[in-house]
Amino acid sequence: MKKVIVIGGGAAGMQAALRLRARGVEPLVVERETETGGKLRGWHVLFPSFTPAGELLSELRRRVRESGIEVLTGATVTAIAPRRVTLSDGRCLACDAVVLATGFTLFDARIKEEYGYGIYDNVVTSADLERMFAQGRVAKADGTAPRRIAFLHCVGSRDEKVCQQHCSRVCCITGVKQAMELRRMFPAADVFNFYMDMRMFGPGYEELYREAQQRCNIHFVRGRISEASPTIDGRLQIKAEDTLTGRPLRMSVDMLVLLVGMRANDDNAALAASAGLARSASGFMAPRDLFLGRVSAPVEGIFYAGTVTAPKTLGETLDEATAAADAAAEYLKA
Amino acid sequence: MARRASWNEYQKQIADDRYYYGRSCIRQNFFPGSEKAFIDILHNDLGRDLLDDPKHSSCTGIGYHSDIVPLETIMTVVARQFSLMNEAGYENFVTSCITSFGVYTEVLATWAEFPETEERTREYLMKATGREFRKPASMAHTSDVMFHFREAIAAKARYRLVNAQTGEPLKVVEHIGCHYAKIFPKSGIGGSEFPYVLAGMVESWGGECVDYPERRHCCGFGFRNYLVQANRGYSIANSHKKLESMAPYKPDFIVANCPGCAMFLDKWQYTIAEMEGTTYGDNGRGIPVLTYEEMAGLVLGYDPWALGMQMHQVDVEPLLDKMGIEYDPAAKYLGANGKYIGKPGAALVNNCAADSVYNIKE
Amino acid sequence: MAIEFGYTISKPRAIDIDRNNLRKSDEILREMPELQTCIGCGSCTAVCTAGNLTSFNFRRVHTLVRRGEYRGAYEEMNKCMLCGKCRLVCPRGINTRGVVLLLKRKLGDF
């Protein structure tokens, strides 16, 4: 039986492995962490349906387990080639093809110093907030309930100052989803979303945005927050332009949520160099063709699944993992 | 300021000795003892070599930022200063003024990005003065130098930035001139959002910095914006905004590293008080405003009147008393030669009646 | 006696959400929650009979009202000719004419 190494045991990696197995190929999932799941771990519910992330994760894990797919955890890949994968401990694993499903790196909000993440209490990222939701407790650092919350879209996205020219795509809808969850949790709280554009591209997204506006009274202000600073009572003062009225706007809030974007995986540069692969300007892996070769690397025998090539939603990632596995299976048949 | 460790990520090279000193145009008027204090501290307390060269000129920054001096001209003026420095055998340029610091860093960066502008500057300088120049090995603001020696100064401190009665650290508002790091964040210690150049001195000398909502806001100086009287309303409004924002924290004093900022934050308190009756300090007085040289001088035990602090708009005595500094109140308006230099009339900002006017010659 | 300096301290023109009283705005939005679904496309202003000849900008005024800036909104709404074209073009289906009447009813005192 032909063997394919799938690098990365997140949603893309697991789905690709399942499809390979269904196509009669032997997959080996190599995962850096001690368990599978990738970024799906620690996420609470998924947009736009509020489906618990745990449901999707345990279903994927159950399928992987029941299919008898071999998973190598705690293994970091340092170099790839179509028929060989090298690990950080020096081991070389032989194979017939490789599916790269290493995902993205979360933008480090500390780089946008003006928002004071890591310096001021109650400045959190969307990932932090999701963890709080998962733990069932959202509160200010002093344990009290926030009365006014601001979300800032596009932190580490569409920002040339931090070398992130691209749109991370999922943050807009995540901001809408999380704002709605906070309104449900704190009915008396005011929630403001500061955005540059609302990019509601997916099925059900625009409907959710409308619900957030009309039913949840979430205030959407078109303008990017320029800075956050502390107030004497331990809150945060934020400044923005309300661009639709053409006037500067400021207010104090109890909590500032930074919707952090997807950055190209930190490992992309080294892996691309090891196999002679091209990367796009933003650092994501560049597929062979933007229309007819979206899941293939320019090098024969290497395939891409999920956010290793660009920011994607979970649905898109799962579809692409299937496509990548199919492409690999076809390649091995030839 | 809580957990402000990010300044460590912004480090710049600050020479340890042998400085060529570029003075400010306006500081001699508003804070006349500060530059002398800097030279004295470097020479006498720290044993460093610094050349105060009478041949150097204004950097022409005020004219440049007021659209009077063209870019080519200011580049040539900067080149001449470098040439004078070369001639004197120095290679570490330090400047007393934030505007100048901004000008020098901007010119050096422009030359690096567009080498043809440096070539043209060399031609202009040669035509105008017959001089050539080499670029400095290091470029720093004098507050960078003071920051560099902050622990050495702390070791020699006679007073600390603490309330002598209670032992509590003094609460200090530090204000950084915009052109220190807002042009090139990497050229400032701590970058532009959390600059540490003054905070580092304050903390080393026993004080505590106040992080208030408008900390990063400009003082409103802005050159043409205050030079033209018609624009002064929105120029002063910026200092007003900062003072309103910092007052609830009851700061003991303000320290600034920019000539314009220190002057604005000091003098505008007088203007605001006389216009609207508002004062921002405790006990209805103004908040004293210090330069970092004055702050270092007080810590090292220099006489406040030798530091020129009688020229401040807001009286500094309440601060001197808090720090437990020994000084002669009666000597405030006696010049270096013991001769009476005249004194300002009473003002609201110093807790005096509103109908006061200045009476320089009594 | 205050000294005459020849200039006065400019007043900030920022919308200060902390200082603005949002009660009226909340009341308006409770009566007409669909106003919040405005996506700022500007179709209403583009077709506005009054807005093409006066400074009337329906989108801008109702956005300011939602931020608690009520001053002058009533007078602005008086410029509306109630022709209803804006309601025809609004992609969110907002009853814009109803908004005009509601603002006039609620904000007469500001």
What's the burial of A226, exposed, middle or buried (CB within 10 Å: 0-12/13-18/19+)?
middle
Chains that touch A (3 or more CB pairs under 8 A): B, C
**Closest-CA residue of chain C to A197:** C39
The 3-class SS string of chain C reads CCCCCCCCCCCCCCEECCCCCCHHHHHHHHHCHHHHHCCCCCHHHHHCCCCCCCCCCHHHHHHHHHCCCCCCHHHHHCCCCCCCHHHHHCCCCCCHHHHHHHHHHHCCCC
Tell me what pLDDT residue B353 has.
53
- Cβ pair A47, A26 in contact under 8 A: no
Q: Which fold has domain A3-104+264-333?
A: FAD/NAD(P)-binding domain (3.50.50)
End-to-end CA distance of chain C: 33
User: How close, in Å, is residue A230 to chain B by CA atoms?
Assistant: 5
Whether residue C79 is contained in a domain is answered as yes
Report whether B47 contacts B279 (CB < 8 A).
no
Q: Is C95 on the interface with A (CB under 8 A)?
A: no
Residues contacting B166, CB < 8 A, separation 6+? none
Q: What is the pLDDT of residue C16?
A: 97
Looking at residue B107, its amino acid is V
Q: Any idea which residue has 């003075």 for tokens?
A: B23
**Euclidean distance between CA atoms A228 and A237, whole angstroms:** 6
Q: Which chain B residue is nearest to residue C6, measuring alpha carbons?
A: B229
* Interchain pair C2, B271: CB under 8 A: no
Tell me, yes or no, if C91 comes closer than 8 A to chain A by beta carbon: no
Q: Classify residue B294 as left (phi > 0), alpha (psi -120 to 50) or beta.
A: alpha
pLDDT tens-digit series, residues B208-229: 999 999 999 999 998 888 888 8
Q: Is residue C85 part of a domain?
A: yes
> Cα dihedral angle (A129, A133, A136, A142), rounded to 10 degrees?
20
Least Cα separation, residue B222 to chain C (angstroms):
15
Using an 8 Å Cβ cutoff, are A171 and A126 in contact? yes
Q: For residue A249, which residues of chain C lie inside 8 Å, CB to CB?
A: 14-17, 67
**Which residues of chain A have a CB within 8 Å of the CB of C14?**
239, 247-250
Q: Does the residue C67 lie in any domain?
A: yes
The CA–CA distances, whole Å, from B23 to A241, B99, B257, C3 equal 39, 11, 13, 34
Which tokens is A135 given? 């733990």
Mention every residue, 6+ apart, whose C-beta is less than 8 A from residue B256. B174, B175, B176, B177, B198, B219, B262, B265, B289, B290, B291, B292
User: Residue B86 is which amino acid?
Assistant: N
Q: One fold for both A3-104+264-333 and A109-262?
A: yes
- pLDDT the model gives residue B10: 81
Picking from B234, B236, B274, the nearest residue to C2 by CB comes out as: B274
* Tokens encoding C90: 């609004």
Structure tokens at B34: 């500060």
Interface confidence, given as ipTM, is 0.94
CA-based nearest residue in chain B for residue C1: B355
Closest among C77, C81, C79 to C104, alpha carbons compared: C77
CATH number at residue C79: 1.10.1060.10
SS3 (DSSP) at B10? coil
* Best mutation target, C1, C3, C5, to test chain B (most B CBs within 10 A): C3
Residue A67 sits at the vertex; the CA angle it makes with A63 and A68, to the nearest 5 degrees, is 120
Per-residue pLDDT tens, chain A, 334 aa: give them: 899 999 999 999 999 999 999 999 999 999 999 999 999 998 999 999 999 999 999 999 999 999 999 999 999 999 999 999 999 999 999 999 999 999 999 999 999 999 999 999 999 999 999 999 999 999 999 999 999 999 999 999 999 999 999 999 999 999 999 999 999 999 999 999 999 999 999 999 999 999 999 999 999 999 999 999 999 999 999 999 999 999 999 999 999 999 999 999 999 999 999 999 999 999 999 999 999 999 999 999 999 999 999 999 999 999 999 999 999 999 999 8
Of the CATH numbers 3.50.50.60, 1.10.10.10, 1.25.40.10, 3.30.70.100, which one belongs to the domain with range A109-262? Answer: 3.50.50.60
- Chain A and chain B share a number of CB contacts under 8 A equal to 32
pLDDT at residue number B355: 47
**Is C9's CB within 8 Å of B240's CB?**
yes
Domain ranges of chain A: 3-104+264-333, 109-262
Q: Give the H/E segment covering residue B72.
A: helix B71-88
pLDDT of residue A259: 98
Give pLDDT, residue B5. 72
Whether residue C44 contacts residue C86, with contact meaning beta carbons closer than 8 Å, is answered with: yes
Instruction: Decide if A249 and C14 are in contact by the 8 Å CB cutoff.
Output: yes
C9 is a domain residue: no
Mutate to test the interface with C, among B229, B231, B232 (most CBs of C within 10 A): B232
Residues of A in contact with B6 (CB under 8 A): 110, 113, 118-119
Chain A interface, Cβ < 8 Å to B: 110, 113-114, 118-120, 227, 229-232, 237
Residue A283: predicted pLDDT: 97
Taking CA–CA distances from C9, the nearest residue in chain B reads: B233
pLDDT, one tens digit per residue, over C46-100 is 999 999 999 999 999 999 999 999 999 999 999 999 999 999 999 999 999 999 9
Shortest CA distance to B289 belongs to which of B306, B271, B264, B272?
Answer: B264
Shortest CA distance to B258 belongs to which of B80, B49, B90, B65? Answer: B65
Residue C10 maps to a domain: no
**Does residue C13 form part of some domain?**
no
**Tokens standing for residue A257:** 């949520």
**CA distance to partner chain A, nearest, from residue C18 (Å):** 5
Best probe of the B interface among A232, A237, A250, A256, by most B CBs < 10 A, is: A232
- DSSP states of A78-110: EEEETTEEEETTS-EEE-SEEEE---EEE--GG
- How many domains is chain C built from? 1
Is residue B259 within 8 A of residue B98, CB to CB? The reply is: yes
A202 Cβ contact partners less than 8 Å away, ≥ 6 residues apart:
A48, A173, A313, A315
CB < 8 Å to B3, chain A: 118-119
Nearest chain A residue to C31, by CA:
A214
Per-residue tens of pLDDT for chain B, all 362 residues = 445 677 777 878 899 999 999 999 999 888 999 999 999 999 999 999 999 999 999 999 999 998 899 999 999 999 999 999 999 999 999 999 999 999 999 999 999 999 999 999 999 999 999 999 999 999 999 999 999 999 999 999 999 999 999 999 999 999 999 999 999 999 899 999 999 999 999 999 999 999 999 999 999 998 888 888 888 999 999 999 999 999 999 999 999 999 999 999 999 999 999 999 999 998 789 999 999 999 999 999 999 999 999 999 999 999 999 999 999 999 999 988 889 998 888 889 987 654 444 444 44
Neighbours of chain B (3+ CB pairs under 8 A): A, C
Q: How many CB pairs under 8 A join A and C?
A: 52
B173 DSSP β-pair partners? B254
- Measured over the CA atoms of residue A245, residue A251, residue A255 and residue A256, the dihedral's sign is positive
State whether B274 and C3 contact (CB < 8 Å): yes
| Residue in chain A lying closest to B247 (CA) | A232
The SS3 assignment for B93 reads strand
Closest alpha carbon within chain B to A114: B193
- Whether the CB-CB separation of A285 and A297 falls below 8 Å is answered with yes
Residues of A with CB under 8 A from a CB of C: 198, 210, 213-215, 217, 219, 222, 239, 242, 244-252
For residue C39, what are the domain limits? Answer: 23-107
Burial class (CB in 10 A: 0-12, 13-18, 19+), B11: exposed
Could C40 and A222 be called an inter-chain contact, meaning their C-beta atoms sit closer than 8 Å? yes
Sign of CA dihedral A140, A142, A147, A152: negative
Q: Which residues of B touch C12 (CB under 8 A)?
A: 237, 241
pLDDT band, residue C110 (cuts 50/70/90): confident
Closest-CA distance, B236 to chain C, in angstroms, reads 6
Q: How many CA atoms does the CB half-sphere of B206 hold within 13 Å?
A: 21
Please check whether residue C48 lies inside any domain of the structure: yes
Sign of CA dihedral A132, A137, A142, A146: positive
DSSP state at residue B25: S
Which residues of chain B from 228 to 287 reach within 8 Å of chain C, CB to CB? 229-230, 232-234, 236-237, 240-241, 271-272, 274-277
Question: Counting one residue from B and one from C, how many pairs have CB atoms under 8 Å apart?
Answer: 36
Strands (E), chain A: 3-7, 26-30, 45-46, 51-52, 70-72, 77-81, 84-87, 92-94, 97-100, 104-106, 123-125, 148-155, 190-195, 219-222, 227-230, 236-242, 247-253, 255-260, 262-264, 302-304
Q: How many angstroms separate the CA atoms of A310 and B158, rounded?
A: 61
Q: Say what the pLDDT of residue A118 is.
A: 94
Contact check, Cβ <8 Å, C7/B230: yes
Instruction: Report d(CA A193, CA A209) in Å as an integer.
Output: 11
